[in-house]
Amino acid sequence: MPYILISTQIRLETGPTMVGDEYSDPSIMNYLGARKTTMLGNNFSEYHVDEPPRLVLDKLEQIGFRVVSMTGVGQTLVWCLYKETSDSL
């Protein structure tokens, strides 16, 4: 899976950071130290870390991911990262 989306709420820039969904690569989620949670009322799971997005972006860069785009959606900041498939974790 060469793409990852990470996001955080603007008022929570210091964390937590959402780093994946239930279909995310478990080895990458383990590398990030992410925990899988399901919010009450949701029928899907998400992976979160307590670190701010900047530290998550630094960690992902170390394993070959690069930021493709970043945007603000309402009160949410979202980064899209890409990794060439020839690289491995």
Report pLDDT digits (tens) over 3-30: 999 999 887 667 799 999 999 999 999 9
Q: Is 39 exposed, middle or buried (0-12, 13-18, 19+ CB in 10 A)?
A: exposed
- What's this model's pTM, rounded to 2 decimal places? 0.84
- For residue 44, give the 3-state DSSP assignment: coil
Q: What is the third-level CATH fold of 3-82?
A: Gtp Cyclohydrolase I Feedback Regulatory Protein; Chain: K (3.30.1410)
Beta bridge mates, 76: 9, 73
What pLDDT sits at residue 6? 93
Instruction: Please tell me the distance from the alpha carbon of residue 84 to that of residue 47, in angstroms, as a whole number.
Output: 22
The yes-or-no verdict on residue 87 having pLDDT over 80 is: no
What pLDDT sits at residue 27? 94
Q: Which amino acid is at 6?
A: I
